[in-house]
């Protein structure tokens, strides 16, 4: 008899799987990773086979049989990875496994299938019929002639020669054609930007980088299996990745290239597709479920073996993985925000280590963790030989407040861009028009009814919007408390800067790129394309404008509030600010006209700003590492954050006290337990936060997992949601 150990796809924390099922003869072919529908209590739910056994501890008559097996499952390697994530990030087996499954496999049992299409091919008798002048209908003859050029789908035949299925059926009955059903590949309608598949002659530094990867692929003694590729923007890192991917393919191995969520620009996709052809697959959130499923299947079947995609592509079913590249490894989008809060960079390292693949993390602005942990390879020069653009830091504390959010020098530089017919990028850290609305007469201000934050003025839509929940309301004309009509809007956001620039810089067009304008499918790419095609233009937006694109006509990039990110009470604030300013600086001066960078700030002496202005990542990192060592922050300790949420505050406080007690009993020594600290209310839920600072990562995670699982069964925690974030960002 054979037994399948099945982990049910349900998110109950208190459930301890896997559970044994008896396999009928017809399901003897099931493997680890197969997805089955099983009876579970009174329900029928999906589950994943995580193990197979000869016998069970339970008598056979107590075991149920799966009802059916689904079309596609996950490779065993990914099942192990999913279970590892569940443990490592204090989540459930079900949530970990769902990451490994084909797109569209939901716990609720809905699923995506392959789409089939009918394909026709001419038979030898068909060729003879055409040349021998046999009697054929007009449509029949047209079909045969079309098929002489090669196999076609029924849909293509219908549009090419107007032949319907009946014509094909009759031809097949006469033995003149053969038809078959085949899996169809749904392709995204996203326009492919032109890219040449040409491969430039690599510079010596690039050659060294490729050789390093090849040596590791070939398992040479002394070759680095993990590497930080530290190279300024435009130093040819992507070109090195392409060559390394080709090397992996030539050795019959696959590759995964992770890119930031927003960085998957059509240009980048086109570049990979042009070089790697059909061996290339792309997985990203702009694809429909069907398209994503088809790309997944192409990887799973081995038809494609290089996958490019954001965070979740770390679970791409690439067989015989030889290389994993993490592009722009500093990017915050590699951390998943919902449970499991996995970090794709850590998962990539685990996966690469388990399958003997080479890992490369590339960036111009490495994280201190990566800087310390991985051996480095430097690509210090831009391929075009251009120097990095000069950076001017403007002290906004000394600027005349009447000049508004832009320093007079910034206006002057923008004016020069207009005169020269060039382009500029302007970044501001907040979207909307203004972050505060207040009544001048009575001081009332407008807060979100569901969250403890102020509502943001959005003039474009004429509404007040909460950036933490879905709440919006019409922009008031008068104060609700005192009827005064003198309402003041304080602070600036992208909409306001857009309006200011459009007015002062006319006639050159101003494009805005932020979460509001980029919301629709393909909108992000359309805005960038419009900016690219314009002769002279300004692009205004949030951090999105600093990421993943290359416009040689940009001669000025400016950030208006470079200290906004520094004010967060977060030990990564400096690292974030450095990366943001350095990335924005990298957008300017990529063409023959050169360029410059302006940084407006209230904190001109902050190390992150000074070193970013000097394009000096090495000094910044050296200082930042020492600061972290002194304060015992990662990587010199391990952080875990636990957040409790509830609508009723009293319940929340009792739960927090209970958790604090349980944790202080179970945590290993040398662990600081900070909290519970109040956090601002979001979506009508009050929140409390604990932060653990630990020396022993494994022991702390295990203690947190056990504590949370025990409490999940406790009545005190009823109606209290608890989330655990290991290595919070």
450: partner contacted, choices Zn ion, ligand ADP, none (Cβ within 5-8 A by kind): Zn ion
Q: Is the CB of 1 or the CB of 442 nearer to Zn ion?
A: 442
HSE of 699, CA atoms in CB hemisphere, 13 A? 11
Minimum CB distance to ligand ADP smaller for 159 or for 196: 196
Q: What number of helices (H) and strands (E) belong to the chain?
A: 20, 30
Least distance from ligand ADP to the Cβ atom of residue 612, Å: 17
Least spacing, CB of residue 384 vs ligand ADP, in Å: 6
Q: Which listed option, Zn ion, ligand ADP, none, makes contact with residue 56 (CB within 5 to 8 Å by class)?
A: none
704-710 CB contacts, 8 Å cutoff, 24+ apart: 704/90, 704/640, 704/642, 704/663, 704/667, 705/87, 705/90, 706/666, 707/659, 707/662, 707/663, 707/666, 708/13, 708/90, 708/642, 709/13, 709/14, 710/662
Point out which span in 122-130, 227-235, 300-308, 527-535 binds ligand ADP (CB under 6 A): 227-235
Complex with Zn ion: residue 472 or 666, whichever CB lies closer: 472
670 binds, among Zn ion, ligand ADP, none (CB under 5 to 8 A by kind): none
- Partner touching 58 among ligand ADP, Zn ion, none, CB below 5 to 8 Å by kind: none
Q: Residue 690 belongs to what H/E stretch?
A: strand 685-694
Q: How far is the CB of 453 from Zn ion (least distance, A)?
A: 6
Binding partner at 203 among Zn ion, ligand ADP, none, C-beta below 5 to 8 Å by kind: ligand ADP
Q: How far apart are CA 190 and CA 230, in angstroms?
A: 32
Q: Please say which residue, 243 or 316, places its beta carbon nearer to ligand ADP.
A: 243
> Residue holding tokens 């009447």?
402
Q: Please give the Cα distance from 729 to 726 (Å, whole number).
A: 9
- Residue 231 binds ligand ADP (CB under 6 A): yes
62 DSSP assignment:
G
Question: What string marks each residue from 204 to 223 as x (binds ligand ADP by CB under 6 A) or -?
Answer: --x-----------------
185 binds, among ligand ADP, Zn ion, none (CB under 5 to 8 A by kind): none
Candidates 60-68, 233-241, 575-583, 641-649: pick the segment binding ligand ADP (CB under 6 A). 233-241
| Cβ atoms < 10 Å from Cβ of 314 | 28
Q: Please, where are the H alpha helices in 40-162? A: 76-88, 93-98, 124-131, 138-147, 154-161
Give the DSSP per-residue string, 699-729.
Answer: HHHHHHHHHHHHHHTSGGGTT-EEEEEES--
Residue 323 contacts residue 256 (beta carbons within 8 Å): yes
For residue 416, the partner it binds in Zn ion, ligand ADP, none, with Cβ less than 5 to 8 A by kind, is none
Q: Which of residues 186-205 bind ligand ADP (CB under 6 A)?
A: 200-203
**Cβ proximity to ligand ADP, 237 vs 688, nearer residue:** 237
Of residues 234 and 493, the one with the C-beta less far from ligand ADP:
234
Instruction: List interacting residues with Zn ion (CB under 5 A).
Output: 439, 441-442, 444, 448, 450-451, 466, 468-469, 471, 479, 481-482, 484
Q: Output the smallest distance, CB 272 to ligand ADP, in A.
A: 11
Selection from Zn ion, ligand ADP, none that 234 binds (CB < 5 to 8 A by kind) is ligand ADP
What does 479 interact with, of Zn ion, ligand ADP, none (CB < 5 to 8 A by kind)?
Zn ion
DSSP label at residue 447:
B
Is the Cβ of residue 179 or residue 208 nearer to ligand ADP in the bound state?
208
* 348 contact, one of ligand ADP, Zn ion, none, CB 5-8 Å limit per kind: none
- Cβ atoms of residues 291 and 298 within 8 Å: no
Residue 153 tokens, joined: 């789908």
Judged on CB neighbours under 10 Å (0-12, 13-18, 19+), 216 is buried
By the 10 Å C-beta count (0-12 exposed, 13-18 middle, 19+ buried), 601 is classed as buried
To the nearest whole angstrom, how small is the minimum distance from the Cβ of residue 585 to ligand ADP? 13
Which is nearer to ligand ADP, 18 or 263 (by Cβ)? 263
Please report which helix (H) or strand (E) contains residue 171, including its range: helix 165-173
The reply to whether 549 sits near ligand ADP by the rule CB under 6 A is: no
> What's the min distance (Å) between Cβ of 558 and ligand ADP?
21
Question: Does residue number 675 form part of the binding site for ligand ADP (CB under 6 A)?
Answer: no
Q: CB neighbours (10 Å) of residue 605?
A: 9
User: Which partner in ligand ADP, Zn ion, none is near 125 (CB below 5 to 8 A by kind)?
Assistant: none
- Taking the least distance from each CB to Zn ion, the nearer of 426 and 464 is 464
Which of 153/208 has CB closer to ligand ADP? 208
How far are the Cα atoms of 3, 6, 186 from residue 59, in angstroms, in the given order?
11, 17, 46
| Residue 365 CB, nearest approach to ligand ADP (Å) | 12
Residue 699, classified by CB atoms within 10 Å of its CB into exposed (0-12), middle (13-18) or buried (19+), is middle
As a residue count, the chain comes to 729
Q: Residues 378, 231: contact at Cβ < 8 Å?
A: yes
Token reading at 698? 């494994």
Residues 234-273: x where in contact with ligand ADP by CB under 6 A, - otherwise, as a string: xxxxxx----------------------------------
Give the three-class secondary structure for 686: strand
Considering the complex, state which of residue 30 and residue 388 has its C-beta at the smaller distance from ligand ADP. 388
Min separation Cβ 687 and Zn ion, Å: 13
Separation of alpha carbons 255 and 322, rounded Å: 6
**Number of amino acids touching ligand ADP (CB under 6 A):** 14
DSSP category for residue 219: T
User: What does 233 interact with, of ligand ADP, Zn ion, none (CB < 5 to 8 A by kind)?
Assistant: ligand ADP
Asked if the bond preceding 340 is cis, omega within 30° of 0, the reply is yes
d(CA 400, CA 633): 39
User: Kind and range of the H or E element at 489?
Assistant: strand 487-490
Q: Virtual CA dihedral for 246, 249, 250, 253, nearest 10 degrees? A: 140
Q: Are 370 and 329 in contact (CB under 8 A)?
A: yes
Task: Work out how close the CB of 460 gets to ligand ADP at its nearest, in angstroms, rounded to a whole number.
Answer: 33
Task: For residue 28, count other CB atoms closer than 10 A to its CB.
Answer: 8
* Residue 276 Cβ vs ligand ADP, minimum distance, rounded to whole Å: 15
Out of 264, 383, 414, 546, the only residue in the binding site for ligand ADP (CB under 6 A) is 383
- Please tell me whether the peptide bond between 635 and the residue prior to it is cis, using omega within 30 degrees of 0: yes
Is 233 a binder of ligand ADP (CB under 6 A)? yes
CB of 198 to ligand ADP, least distance (A): 9
Distance CA 366, CA 394 (A): 25
- The least distance separating ligand ADP from the CB of residue 240, rounded to whole angstroms, comes to 7
What is the nearest approach in angstroms of ligand ADP to the Cβ of residue 542?
21
Report the residue number, 401 or 474, with the smaller CB distance to Zn ion: 474
Closer CB to ligand ADP, residue 156 or residue 550?
Answer: 550
| Binding to ligand ADP in span 434-473, by CB under 6 A | none
Q: Which is nearer to ligand ADP, 233 or 365 (CB)?
A: 233
- Nearest approach in angstroms of CB 463 to Zn ion is 13
Q: How far apart are CB 540 and ligand ADP at their closest, in Å?
A: 23
Given the complex with ligand ADP, which of 383 and 427 has the nearer CB atom? Answer: 383
For the bound state, the minimum distance from the C-beta of residue 235 to ligand ADP, rounded and expressed in Å, comes to: 4
Contact footprint for ligand ADP (CB under 6 A): 200-203, 206, 231, 233-239, 383
């Amino acid at each position: 008899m054979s037994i399948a150990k099945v982990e049910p796809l349900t998110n109950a924390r208190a459930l301890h799987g896997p559970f044994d099922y008896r396999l009928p003869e017809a399901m003897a072919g099931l493997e680890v990773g197969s997805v089955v529908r099983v009876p579970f209590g009174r329900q029928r739910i999906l589950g994943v086979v995580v193990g197979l056994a000869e016998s069970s501890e339970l008598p056979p008559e107590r075991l149920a049989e799966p009802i059916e097996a689904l079309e596609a499952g996950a490779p065993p390697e990914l099942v192990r990875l999913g279970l590892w994530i569940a443990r490592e990030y204090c989540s459930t087996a079900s949530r970990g496994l769902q990451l490994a499954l084909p797109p569209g496999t939901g716990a609720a049992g809905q699923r995506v299938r392959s789409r089939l299409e009918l394909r026709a091919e001419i038979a030898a008798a068909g060729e003879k019929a055409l040349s021998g002048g046999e009697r054929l209908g007009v449509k029949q003859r047209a079909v045969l002639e079309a098929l002489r050029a090669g196999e076609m789908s029924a849909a293509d035949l219908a549009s090419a020669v107007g032949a319907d299925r009946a014509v094909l059926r009759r031809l097949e009955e006469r033995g003149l054609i053969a038809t078959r059903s085949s899996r169809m590949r749904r392709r995204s309608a996203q326009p492919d930007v032109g890219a040449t598949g040409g491969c430039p002659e690599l510079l010596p530094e690039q050659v060294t980088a490729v050789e390093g990867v090849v040596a590791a692929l070939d398992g040479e003694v002394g070759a680095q299996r993990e590497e930080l590729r530290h190279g300024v923007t435009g130093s040819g890192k992507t070109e090195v990745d392409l060559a390394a991917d080709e090397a992996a393919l030539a050795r019959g191995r696959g590759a995964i290239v992770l890119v930031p969520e927003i960085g998957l620009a059509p240009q980048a996709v086109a570049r990979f597709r042009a070089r790697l052809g059909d061996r290339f697959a792309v997985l990203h959130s702009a694809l429909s479920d069907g398209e994503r499923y088809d790309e997944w299947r192409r990887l799973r079947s081995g038809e494609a073996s290089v996958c490019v995609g954001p965070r979740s592509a770390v679970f791409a079913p690439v067989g015989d993985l030889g290389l994993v590249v993490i592009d722009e490894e500093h990017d915050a989008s590699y951390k998943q925000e919902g449970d499991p809060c996995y970090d794709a960079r850590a998962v990539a390292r685990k996966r690469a280590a388990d399958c003997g693949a080479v890992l490369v993390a590339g960036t111009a602005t490495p994280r201190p963790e990566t800087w310390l942990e991985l051996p480095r390879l430097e690509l210090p020069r831009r391929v075009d030989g251009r120097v990095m653009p000069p950076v001017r830091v403007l002290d906004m504390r000394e600027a005349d407040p009447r000049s508004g959010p832009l320093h007079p020098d910034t206006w002057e530089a923008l004016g020069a861009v207009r005169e020269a017919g060039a382009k500029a990028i302007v970044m501001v850290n907040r979207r909307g028009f203004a972050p505060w609305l207040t009544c001048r007469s009575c001081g009332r201000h407008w807060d979100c009814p569901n969250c403890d934050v102020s509502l943001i003025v959005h003039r474009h839509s004429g509404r007040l919007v909460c950036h933490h929940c879905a709440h919006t309301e019409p922009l008031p004309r008068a104060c609700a408390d005192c009827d005064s009509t003198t309402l003041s809007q304080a602070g600036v956001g992208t909409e306001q800067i857009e309006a200011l620039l459009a007015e002062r810089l006319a006639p050159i067009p101003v494009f805005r790129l932020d979460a509001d304008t980029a919301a629709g499918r393909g909108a992000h790419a359309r805005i960038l394309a419009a900016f690219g095609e314009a002769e002279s233009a300004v692009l205004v937006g949030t951090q999105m404008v600093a990421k993943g694109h290359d416009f040689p006509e940009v001669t000025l990039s400016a950030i208006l509030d470079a200290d906004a990110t520094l004010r967060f009470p977060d030990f990564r604030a400096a690292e974030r600010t450095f990366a943001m300013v350095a990335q924005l600086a990298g957008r300017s001066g990529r063409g023959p006209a050169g360029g410059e960078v302006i940084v407006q700030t209230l904190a001109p002496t902050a190390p992150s700003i000074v070193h970013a202005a000097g394009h000096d990542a090495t000094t910044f990192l050296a200082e930042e590492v020492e600061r972290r060592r002194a304060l015992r922050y990662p990587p010199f300790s391990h952080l875990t954050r636990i957040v409790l949420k509830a609508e009723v505050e009293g319940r929340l406080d009792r739960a927090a006290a209970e958790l604090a007690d349980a944790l202080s009993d179970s945590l290993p020594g040398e662990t600081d337990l900070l909290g519970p600290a109040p956090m601002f209310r979001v979506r009508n839920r009050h929140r409390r936060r604990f932060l653990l600072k630990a020396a022993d990562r494994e022991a702390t995670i295990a203690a947190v997992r056990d504590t949370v699982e025990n409490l999940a069964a406790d009545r005190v925690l009823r109606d209290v949601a608890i989330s655990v974030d290991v290595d919070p960002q």
